[in-house]
Structure 1
């Protein structure tokens, strides 16, 4: 089996090639990145409606980093960026949105999770964070390549389009001849505090992070042809919080028509917050700052850290229904920007004709996957299921006869049920198809299991860039080829079927066909045992 693997040089600005040498490793063909010659001449300049920008060329791929797609004042909706004269160099990643160091998961945490993810430490800047990155094989060549827009995870409080090594978009763009885009947007209280209750100039100061993403999609619509892309063939995709954002964008009128396919990975979101909860929280926050619609400039007097402290002080009240990561803000059904819950009571009508992939990982947030004996697993399960333990174990073994005792304990029972419910709601529209998957592959080189985000290096075609997680084994590269090919096929056509996979039939509420991604991929139909295991017996 032929396979191309791409390595990223430490400083990508000085590594590009037009003649890539190759060598064989087993059944795979490996491209040597050190043979790439950097090109930063006139051929790497293209136009946007805001002015000319220059990237660099690495092999066959033109790369642009840190392109500004919008600008915004604090707590205000985004607007178009300023036009510029001359050529603006866009060759380095821009800053990420400000976020509390509490959520800087790299820190000094010497955990298997942190080692596997290798979170990238990045500078933060409130004014400069509305940026995106582009990888493409051609500029102004009229080829109308499909466009893949990746929306990062981290809940609604953390993350960036560059905070994992595997987010590098080069490999997908090169393998599939598609345009790959990653982006940053405002987060936590800067992106999701609800200040609309102040009225006046703050009446649309809600769901700002989502408004940022819509602005990025508008930039794609207006500019992507200069980068060889097709604005009428755009796929949005996201994992974890990114999946929640994709779920929500599917229901947003302002996003309608800006994308044509969607992928939701471990982030199925049925409902969002309600204004009766978020507006009082925003008003308490504003009162703590002394902020009113009559003095909007007051918001600029505070540092980000001071804003965080004020928000936390003002919202630590006993009757507050907001908790966890949502304490720093989240999307809300405000009635204007988001007029309904994403998938409640039904899938949104405005995205009925958009095909969707929805899936999860087997373990998700069960990060501890060291071996257990059958009795050790039973003891743990008894504390949860009591007299129902035997029934649970019997059901689990019928659904997953090859899984270990540890996996009886570490199976995800939160993300996957939500994904199945969302898939049913989408299918019941009788519109565009929905395709379901479950990623069960686990590395043999560590105990991470099929944890939250394990599928990312595979669908991004970047297993080697995330070798601390994947192990970089031949088995990993085989699955990488299959999964990235399926994602590329979906981006191009809305159908994920590809050579080497069994036929991936659409999901229906009655049969619930689900692609299992593992060393041996297969289609599973969710029978009564699956529904029993995942607490979905109400779905007939």
Structure 2
């Protein structure tokens, strides 16, 4: 509802003036919660949506009660790193930004889940603060913190009924938060019948997983994933291998499982240093195919039926792995044609011979340097195939419309970064000047941000992106919105050669 609609009656004018008076005092209130003014919108930070005992499902927090201040973010989930933020197991808090906390506003709602795979991350990061998106998109923005890593996804069900939900507790947290939105967002000016979920990286993977969870059915009405996909979940056998590796890291045997309930948080975080026994690298904790909370894989062997009626945006950046693999770091140091295949091998999730891959790229792109081939191959063989699979499966199944984008614009801030993982976040949130934004704040960044906000908010509002030129994705055309330095334009199958090359072998989803 825009301002002109809102002020049609004298009563509405009075309500608007009262709202403005509250804003002038810097003290917006909704029910028991006292918020704050943030760049012209009302912000309510650190609202508890649930409580949870260790390795137990969340218990919803009552909305009514004694007055509470909602002017500071809650603690983030325990994890390695991010030491600048307070961490606690008691981390089930969400945040709301609204242009107008009036029930009559009924604005579309955009609910954001953070990245960091399933092991780290937080929505407390200034890059994902919602005031600019709420104001420019004319939507209510909600961001959610949840349990992650072993606290949210450690698989302990084989050790007793009390741990039955343990492999998917982080997902149950998100479902609990979405129920909170359904029941309470109208008080903040939101429309519970128009809820869009969106998330970057691990946040997108969490959304893909929710699309296969019966308990999430009907809690959101559109979705957008940004460089985040989940084709398959972790099988229970591999999940158990990971739990055993974790237990060994902290010095516990399988007969000592009960001790996990009382060990200090710091000991459990130390266990995250374990090596993953399935895929190598750091131990992976993610959704588990437990046949109850998650009764099927999200996009294998096809798209989950409950997801087909949800309109969806799927996006990736052109050079995802430039964010993971530092162009100034040891992996790229001294790279040349003689060692390129060896450098690529540990980075890809499709089992093709690296020397054969290098030969194919050299023949197809003879002007490319070893570094260019490295980032193209590792992106297309690691971070991108899952998105292609999800978009293709939706198209094959006749899902509600799907729209795909590809961010090509290189960072103007760091010339070696290219268009890397996370670089689409500031455009969608309008947080161009936030710490860790690589978008720059020039006119081109502002123009792209305006377009992306309109597109995403349009999906929340109407079930179609607010960008008329963005046509839906079909097979075999694979229509894609390419966001570049010079233009934003539609292209059919813009990385067709790379897509076909990597499709010659199965994609191995992290977390299988």
Q: Give the TM-score normalised by structure 2.
A: 0.82
Measure the CA separation in 1 of the matches of 2:241 and 2:357: 42
Whether contact under 8 Å (1:457, 1:466) holds in the other structure is: no
CA shift digits 1:447-490 (9 cap, x unpaired):
22111101110111121225752232222112111122211111
Q: 1:257 to 1:38 in 2, by over 3 A?
A: same
The change in CA–CA distance for 1:386 and 1:282 in structure 2 (over 3 A counts) is closer
Which position in structure 2 is the counterpart of 1:69? 49
Question: Any idea what the Cα deviations from partners look like across 1:337-389, whole Å, max 9, x if unmatched?
Answer: 1111110000000111001111111111224458xxxx987566576664765
Greater Cα shift, 359-368 or 130-139: 359-368
Pairing of 1:311-390 with structure 2 (within 5 A): 320-321=277-278, 323-325=280-282, 327-367=283-323, 368=326, 381=340, 386=355, 389=358
In the alignment, structure 1 residue 136 sits paired with structure 2 residue 98: yes
Q: Distance in 2 between matches of 1:130 and 1:417?
A: 32
Task: Pick the aligned partner of 1:46 from 27, 30, 33.
Answer: 30
1:424 maps onto 2:410 in alignment: no
Counterpart pick for 1:238 among 196, 199, 205: 199
Structure 1 pair 97–311 and aligned structure 2 pair: CA distance change class (3 A)? closer
Contact 2:127 2:435 in 1 (8 A): yes
C-alpha distance 309-38 of structure 1, shift in aligned 2 (>3 A): same
Partner of 1:395: 364
Task: Assess, with a 3 A threshold, how the Cα gap between structure 1 residues 281 and 415 changes in structure 2: closer, same or farther.
Answer: closer
Q: How many residue pairs get matched?
A: 464
Match of 1:450 in 2: 419
Gaps of 5+ in 1: 1-17, 21-35, 108-120
Of 282-291 and 331-340, the range deviating more from structure 2: 282-291
> d(CA) in 2 for partners of 1:173 and 1:154?
23
Partner of 2:15: none
Q: Is 2:40 aligned against 1:56? A: no
Partner residue in 1 for 2:88: 125
188-197 or 274-283, which deviates more: 274-283
In the alignment, the residues of structure 1 paired with residue 396 and residue 267 of structure 2 have an alpha-carbon distance, to the nearest angstrom, of 47
- 1:261 equivalent in alignment to 2:222: yes
8 Å CA contact 1:369–1:449 kept in 2: the answer is no
Looking at structure 1, the residues matched to 445 and 339 of structure 2 have their Cα atoms a distance apart, in angstroms, of 31
Residue 247 of structure 1: SS of its match in structure 2? helix
State the alpha-carbon separation in 2 of the partners of residues 150 and 530 from structure 1. 33
In structure 2, relative to structure 1, the CA distance for the partners of 1:281 and 1:380 (3 Å cut) is: closer
Aligned residues of 1:395 and 1:532 also touching (Cα < 8 A): no
Residues 416-473 of structure 1: CA deviation (Å, up to 9, x unaligned) = 2221111001111112011111111012332221111011101111212257522322
Q: Residue 119 of structure 2 aligns to a residue in which SS?
A: coil
In structure 2, distance between residues paired with 1:361 and 1:141: 38
Say which SS state the counterpart of residue 430 (structure 2) adopts.
coil
Q: Residue 316 and residue 61 in structure 1: after superposition, are their counterparts in 2 closer, same or farther (change >3 A)?
A: closer
Distance 1:140 1:528, change over 3 A: closer
- C-alpha separation between the residues in 2 aligned to 1:199 and 1:336? 15
Match of 1:514, SS state, is strand
Aligned twin of 1:487: 456
> Conserved in 1, the CA contact under 8 Å of 2:75 and 2:86?
yes
Please point out which of 249, 257, 262 is paired with 1:301: 262
Instruction: Return the offset for 1:324.
Output: 3.2
Q: Is the 8 A contact 1:392 1:533 kept in 2?
A: no
- Does residue 516 in structure 1 map to residue 477 in structure 2? no
How far does residue 289 in structure 1 lie from its aligned partner after superposition?
A: 5.1
Distance 1:419 1:59, change over 3 A: closer
- For the residue of structure 1 that corresponds to 2:393, the secondary structure is helix
Structure-2 change in CA distance of 1:245 and 1:394 (3 Å)? same
SS of the residue 2:448 aligns to: helix
2:471 maps to which residue?
Answer: 505
Q: Whole-Å Cα distance in 2 between the matches of residues 485 and 93 of structure 1?
A: 27
8 A Cα contact 1:416 1:534, kept in partner:
no
Change (3 A) 1:469 1:311: closer
Contact 1:289 1:310 in 2 (8 A): no
| Alpha-carbon distance, 1:40 to partner | 3.7
- Equivalent residues in 2 for 1:91-106, closer than 5 Å: 91-101=71-81, 104=82
Q: Which moved more, 1:68-77 or 1:477-486?
A: 477-486
Equivalence for 1:149: 111
SS, match of residue 37 in structure 2: strand
Contact 1:377 1:409 in 2 (8 A): no
Q: Which residue of 2 aligns with 1:222?
A: 183
Q: Using the alignment, how far apart are the partners of 2:335 and 2:63 within structure 1? A: 64
Report the RMSD for the aligned CA atoms in angstroms.
3.2
> Does residue 272 in structure 1 map to residue 272 in structure 2?
no
Work out the CA distance in 1 between the residues paired with 2:441 and 2:336.
30
